[in-house]
Amino acid sequence: MKYTTLPNTDIKVSKICLGTMTWGNQNTQDEGFSQMDFALDKGVNFFDTAELYPVPAKKETYAETERIIGNWFAKTGNRDKVILGSKIAGTGDYTAHIRTNGFTKDALNDAVNDSLKRLKTDYLDLYQLHWPERDTNTFGKRDYNYNSKDKWEDNFNEILHNLDDIIKSGKIRQIGISNEKAWGTMRYLEESRQHNLPKMITIQNAYSLLCRPFEGDLAEVAHRENIGLLAYSPMAFGVLSGKYINGTAAKDARLNVYSHFSRYNSANATEATKRYLKIAEDNDMSLAQMSLAFVNERPFVTSNIIGATNLQQLEENIDSINVSLSEDVMKAINAVHAEIPNPAT
């Protein structure tokens, strides 16, 4: 395994992060336990979860993923071996069963306290805001559309003050954002700088061969402001395994179950995937390992969040840390990207 540190800290994390959003829905507790045992044995010390999980978010399974992780900690005593991140859900129609008061002081305190209970721990190493409260283009929306009915009011300073209080209580160590845009990221950073408030050290956004918009403004923000990308969906919901175009996907594979992620199997995404598969085959790699190695090697990526529904997938994904992409492979990848840019955004 290769390791880095969370930006602006001395917290050592594996370059591969274990994603958990299928546990409690596609995966049972025992399967989640097996994945955590295997990942830890392979040197993965960074786990990412959220109160929202498992996905898709439903009242019946709310926060089951955190409960599974907490039960594993209780069984194994491995809390001190893991750098643990979780998230507070943002506002939205499909999170109304969680809470409706956004990132207020009460909401943040309730969310942190409830996560700690479920996770059976006294602290979180990284606590993240799952997506912005304001109306902006997240979750596959390519363009920003001004909404005159958006009632959101600037509360970046208030949020950071409230998070500062929770940090001082010892319940969280560091803070980050997720599904955020360049403007929101810079607003948080400016408030931190101007008012001596905690700094957002990570940003967890989608990033893969099929989804590279982070390389625009946010890559420069990450570079110049020292905020690290925690890349999620590096396999584009399994599309970049090649199993859908090869016809080997199981009936319960993610895109066969969750139709609302159809952007990953659009005509352009499928064509780009076919071209990436050819590059991988021509260079004696699996498409999965080439796709993950691409993310692992980006200079703005702090950790690559991989998820799997079985141990065979997990092993292949973790082993991508040992794959290096040649200059010729990168040229071929970027040639496809130039012709079919960001088909899954």
* 53 a catalytic residue: yes
Separation CA 197–CA 195 (nearest Å): 5
* CA distances, 121 to each of 68, 183, 206, 330 (Å): 13, 34, 28, 42
Catalytic residue among 53, 62, 232, 244: 53
Tokens of 200: 């957002």
Separation CA 3–CA 45 (nearest Å): 9
End-to-end alpha carbon distance in the chain? 30
Separation CA 200–CA 178 (nearest Å): 10
Separation CA 224–CA 159 (nearest Å): 23
Question: What sections of 200-282 are H helices per DSSP?
Answer: 217-225, 254-257, 267-282
* CA distances, 101 to each of 95, 96, 122, 247, 292 (Å): 11, 10, 24, 44, 37
Residue count (the chain): 345
Task: Enumerate the active-site residues.
Answer: 53
